[in-house]
Amino acid sequence: MTTNGFGGVFANGSGVNLNLGAAAQQDDAPEQNAPAEGEQTVHDVIIVGSGPAGYTAAIYTARASLKPVLFASSVSPGGDLMTTTEVENFPGFVEGIQGPELMTTIGAQAERFGADIRYEDVESVELEGDTKKVILTDGSVHLAKTVILSTGSEYRKLGVEGEQRLSGHGVSWCATCDGFFFKEKALAVVGGGDSALEESLYLTNHASKVYLIHRRDSLRGSEIMQQRVFEHPKIEVIWNSQVKTINGDAKVTSVTLTDTVSGGESELDVEGVFVAIGSDPRTDLVKDKLELTEAGTIAVEGRSSRTSIPGVFAAGDVIDSTYRQAITAAGSGCVAALDAQHYLETL
């Protein structure tokens, strides 16, 4: 495994152009409207999306001899862990492990037990009825008795110069993941909601100074969180400011700020930038098909992975707007696999 399609980004085109497959193109093809390749086999389990949730679900369902097929992304291989340099809070790795290496290891473990991992993109799904359809961007249709959705979520980006280039080199979207690496450093947190306030307070455990950068003159977070931020000696709020660029060659050295009132610019020396302006669960495939929560995640029954359609299960960040950790995603992938197995036993 070289490139790792471990993310949860899927192509969402308009319409489906069915690919008739190689057999249908031969001169002796029985009919022009032959089903697309993959339509003949009804799989026990198809997993849409990867990451810790998808790969853990693949491990469990493969060990249960359910022969899962997992569709990872080819458009944007990666996922959050693929942009994380060192992971120190995933159990079992005393000295820590690089994010891409962790994903490669989990994926290889799934394949060891017989999971069929395919680096292809899902365009649409049809989930009603006993047999589910997963349609790829090449038009091929794949059938399954159960579908596990682990499409993840995506941190909102600032969209400024230096953000993507310095991702993993001082730019982060997760304080609990990466704060430890910035001991006694000056850091910037961008945002004004509860998530930004929580990130700021958490980072004071490691940083020498935390600058909270907000584009308005008041915060949006809860009163109690604001009070804690204002009273903390390590936190300084920079009002009416937007990040114009994130600067540095091999690592972050500063940010250029634009005053939203005067239009003036200034430079702030920091060694890390934590972007905390929210995230969006990747639900484009199912937002009109499954019940969603107020937070936009796929709704599941209690602590289970069961969605509003029988035989359809969900796991990972696509159902979790609170914890969003690799280990919690992996745990929910286990739950989804066991729920799918139990569902199949009832058929």
Distance CA 56, CA 339 (A): 13
DSSP 167: B
| Residue with more model confidence, 273 or 176 | 273
**Average pLDDT taken over every residue of the chain:** 87
In this prediction the pTM is 0.72
pLDDT digits (tens, 9 = 90+) for 306-330: 999 999 999 999 999 888 889 999 9
For 238, residues 6+ apart whose C-beta sits below 8 A from its C-beta are 211, 212, 213, 214, 257, 268
d(CA 91, CA 221): 32
Residue 341, pLDDT > 90, answer: yes
Say what the pLDDT of residue 194 is. 87
Task: Quickly state the pLDDT bin for 160 (edges 50, 70, 90).
Answer: very high
Indicate whether 140 pLDDT > 70. Answer: yes
Q: Which of 174, 317, 320, 339 is catalytic?
A: 174
Q: Which of 80, 121, 177, 320 is catalytic?
A: 177
Question: 7 or 333: whose pLDDT is higher?
Answer: 333
Going by C-alpha positions, the residue among 58, 60, 33 that lies closest to residue 48 is 58
The residue from 80, 178, 317, 339 that is catalytic is 178
Mean pLDDT, residues 164-188: 93
Q: What average pLDDT does range 226-237 have in this prediction?
A: 97
Quote the pLDDT of residue 17: 32
DSSP string, 120-164: --EEEEE--SSSEEEEETTS-EEEEEEEEE---EEEPP---BTTT
Q: Tokens 């930004």, residue?
A: 196
Of the chain, the percentage scoring pLDDT greater than 90 comes to: 73
Biggest alpha carbon–alpha carbon distance for the chain: 78
Residue 195 reports pLDDT greater than 70: yes
Range 192-196 average pLDDT: 90
Would you state the pLDDT for residue 82?
A: 67
Residue 67: count other Cβ atoms within 10 Å of its Cβ: 15
Answer yes or no: 178 catalytic: yes
- pLDDT, tens digit, for every residue of 264-315? 999 999 999 999 998 899 999 999 999 999 999 999 999 999 999 999 999 9
| pLDDT score of 321 | 87
Between 33 and 200, the more confident residue is 200
pLDDT of 87 reads 81
pLDDT digits (tens, 9 = 90+) for 74-111: 865 445 676 566 788 899 999 999 888 999 899 999 99
pLDDT of residue 22: 34
- The yes-or-no answer on residue 174 being catalytic is yes
Residue 156 has pLDDT above 60, yes or no: yes
pLDDT digits (tens, 9 = 90+) for 50-83: 889 999 999 999 999 999 999 998 865 445 676 5
**334 belongs to the catalytic site:** no
Give the span between the Cα atoms of 176 and 199, in whole angstroms.
Answer: 8
pLDDT of 30 over the 70 cut: no
Strand partners, 311: none
Task: Indicate if the pLDDT at residue 188 is higher than 90.
Answer: yes
Q: Which residue has the higher pLDDT, 87 or 132?
A: 132
